[in-house]
A and B are shown apart, each in its own frame.
Chain A
Amino acid sequence: MPERAGPVTHKNNKVMIMSVNALYDYKFEPRDKVENFNGMQLVYVQWAGHLMFCAPFALLVEPDMSFRALIEDALKPAVAAHPQSVKADFLAAQWELNGESFTPNADASLVDNGIDHKSMLVVTTPGLDGMFNTGY
Chain B
Amino acid sequence: MAVKNKKLNLKDKYQYLTRDMAWEPTYQKKEDIYPDESFEGIKILDWSQWEDPFRLTMDAYWKYQAEKEKKLYAIFDAFAQNNGHQNITDARYVNALKLFLTGVSPLEHAAFQGYSKVGRQFSGAGARVACQMQAIDELRHSQTQQHAMSHYNKHFNGLHDAAYMHDRVWFLSVPKSFFDDARSAGPFEFLTAISFSFEYVLTNLLFVPFMSGAAYNNDMATVTFGFSAQSDEARHMTLGLEVIKFILEQHEDNVPIVQKWIDKWFWRGFRLLSLVSMMMDYMLPKKVMSWAEAWEVYYEQNGGALFKDLERYGIRPPKYEDVANEAKHHLSHQLWTTFYQYSHATNFHTWIPTEEEMDWMSEKYPDTFDKYYRPRYEFLAKEHAEGRRYYNNTLPQLCQVCQVPTLFTEKGDATKLSHRQIEHEGERYHFCSEACCDIFKDEPEKYVQAWLPVHQIYQGNCGGADVETVVQKYYHINIGEDNFEYVGSPDHKRWQFIKGMAPQQKGDDEAAEKPNAA
Give chain A's interface residues, CB within 8 Å of chain B.
1-2, 4, 12-13, 15-23, 26-33, 36-38, 40, 42, 44, 46, 49, 51-60, 77-78, 81, 98-99, 116-120, 130-132, 134-136
Which of B235-243, B353-361, B442-450 is the contact stretch? Answer: B442-450
Task: Give me the 5 closest cross-chain CB pairs, A-B, nearest first.
Answer: A135-B415, A55-B396, A55-B405, A118-B428, A132-B375
Chain B interface (Cβ < 8 Å from any Cβ of A): 31, 35-36, 38-41, 186, 334, 337-338, 341, 371-372, 375-376, 379, 388, 390, 392-398, 405-407, 409, 414-417, 419, 421-425, 427-430, 441-446, 448-452, 454-455, 458-460
Q: Contacts A31-B448, A57-B395 given; indicate if A98 touches B428 (C-beta within 8 A).
A: yes
Question: Are B406 and A55 in contact, with the CB atoms below 8 A?
Answer: yes
Find out whether the CB atom of A55 lies under 8 angstroms from the CB atom of B455: no
Name the one of A15, A20, A38, A116 contacting B445, with C-beta atoms under 8 angstroms: A20
Q: Which residues of A contact B409 (CB under 8 A)?
A: 51
A38-B460, A44-B397, A98-B421 given as contacts; is B416 within 8 A of A58 (CB)?
A: no
CA distance A60 to B466 in the complex (A): 12
Is B441 within 8 A of A16, CB to CB?
Answer: yes
Among B31, B419, B423, point to the contact of A56 (Cβ < 8 A): B419
Q: Is the CB of A57 within 8 A of B421?
A: no
B30 nearest CB across to chain A (Å): 12
Given contacts A28-B448, A56-B417, 16 further A-B contacts (CB under 8 A): A2-B39, A13-B424, A21-B40, A30-B448, A51-B415, A53-B392, A54-B334, A55-B398, A55-B406, A56-B419, A58-B455, A59-B394, A60-B458, A118-B428, A135-B414, A136-B375
Query: Within 8 Å CB of A23, what residues of B?
Result: 35-36, 39, 186
Residues of A within 8 A of B452 (CB): 31-32
Residues of B contacting A13 in the complex (Cβ-Cβ under 8 angstroms) = 422-424
* Beta-carbon nearest neighbor of A32 in chain B: B455
Q: Looking at chain B's contact residues, is the secondary structure mostly helix, strand, loop, or mixed?
A: mixed
Query: Chain B nearest CB: distance from A9 CB in Å?
Result: 10
Hey, which chain A residues are within 8 Å of B338, CB to CB? 54-55
Complex Cα spacing A5 to B341, Å: 43
Question: Could you tell me the distance between the alpha carbons of A126 and B423 in the complex, rounded to whole angstroms?
Answer: 30
Report whether A49 and B415 are in contact in the complex, using a CB–CB cutoff of 8 Å.
yes
Which residues of B are found within 8 Å of A19, using beta-carbon distances?
443-445
| Closest chain B CB from A65 CB (angstroms) | 15
Contact A31 B451 (CB under 8 A): yes
> For residue B458, which residues in chain A have a CB less than 8 angstroms away from its CB?
37, 40, 42, 58, 60
User: In the complex, A74 Cα to B35 Cα: how many Å?
Assistant: 52
Q: Which residues of A contact B31 (CB under 8 A)?
A: 1
Given contacts A32-B455, A55-B406, A132-B375, contact A4 B445 (CB under 8 A): no
Quote the shortest CB–CB distance from B168 to chain A (angstroms). 16
Evaluate contact between B416 and A78: CB separation under 8 angstroms: no
- Contact A51 B417, CB 8 Å, known A2-B35, A18-B441: yes
Out of B379, B425, B441, name the residue touching A131 (CB < 8 Å).
Answer: B379
A134-B406 in contact given A32-B455, A58-B396 (Cβ < 8 Å):
no
Residue ID in chain B nearest A34 by CB atoms: B427
Which of B31, B39, B393, B409 has most chain A Cβ within 10 Å? B39
The reply to whether B397 and A56 contact each other, CB–CB distance below 8 Å, is yes
In the complex formed, the residue of B with least CB distance to A12 is: B424
- Nearest residue (CB) in B for A83 is B379
A-B contact pairs, 8 of them (CB 8 A): A12-B424, A30-B448, A31-B448, A32-B459, A37-B458, A55-B417, A120-B428, A120-B430
Contact A56/B455 with A31-B449, A131-B379 known, Cβ cut-off 8 Å: no
Residues on A with beta carbons closer than 8 Å to the beta carbon of B375: 131-132, 134, 136
Pair A118/B427 contact, Cβ less than 8 Å: yes
Collect the chain B residues with CB atoms within 8 Å of residue A81's CB: 388, 390, 392
Residue of B nearest to A19 (CB): B445
How far in angstroms is the closest Cβ of chain B from A44? Answer: 5
Q: Nearest CB to that of B444 among chain A residues?
A: A17
Nearest Cβ on chain B to A120's Cβ, whole angstroms: 6
In the bound complex, CA of A132 to CA of B371 (Å) = 8
Cα separation A118 to B451 with both chains bound (whole Å): 15
CB distance from A60 to the nearest CB of B (A): 4
> In whole angstroms, how far apart are the Cα atoms of A46 and B388 in the complex?
23
* Residue of B whose beta carbon sits closest to that of A46: B417
Q: From the candidates B337, B424, B460, name the one contacting A17 in the complex (CB within 8 A).
A: B424
Query: Does B427 lie within 8 Å of A15, measured CB to CB?
Result: no
In Å, the complex CA distance between A112 and B134 comes to 57
Complex: chain A residue closest to B40, CB-CB: A21
Q: How many angstroms between the C-alpha atoms of A30 and B429 in the bound complex?
A: 10
Q: Which of A12, A36, A119, A135 contacts B416 (CB 8 A)?
A: A135
Contacts of A56 in B (CB 8 A): 396-397, 406, 417, 419
Provide the residues of chain B in CB contact with A53, threshold 8 Å.
341, 392, 394
Contact in complex: B39, A78 (CB < 8 Å): no
Whether A134 contacts B415 by the Cβ 8 Å rule is yes
Is there an interface contact between B394 and A57, defined as CB atoms closer than 8 Å?
Answer: yes
Whole-angstrom CA separation of A18 from B441 in the bound complex: 6
In the docked arrangement, what's the CA distance between A131 and B376, Å?
A: 9
Using A31-B452, A55-B407 as known contacts, say yes or no to A15 and B421 having CB atoms under 8 A apart: no
Q: What are the residues of chain B within 8 A of A33 when measuring CB–CB?
A: 427
- Contact of B419 (CB < 8 Å), options: A20, A40, A46, A52: A46
Task: Output the nearest chain A residue to B373 by Cβ-Cβ distance.
Answer: A134
Contact (Cβ within 8 A) A21 B39: yes
Tell me if B441 and A32 are in contact (CB < 8 A).
no
> Are B427 and A30 interface neighbours, CB within 8 A?
yes
Task: Give bound CA distance, A136 to B406, whole Å.
Answer: 15
CB of B428 within 8 A of CB of A117, answer: yes
* A residues near B341, Cβ cutoff 8 Å: 52-54
Q: Considering only CB atoms, which chain A residue lies closest to B41 in the complex?
A: A21
Known contacts A23-B35, A99-B421; is-contact A18 B443 (Cβ 8 Å): yes
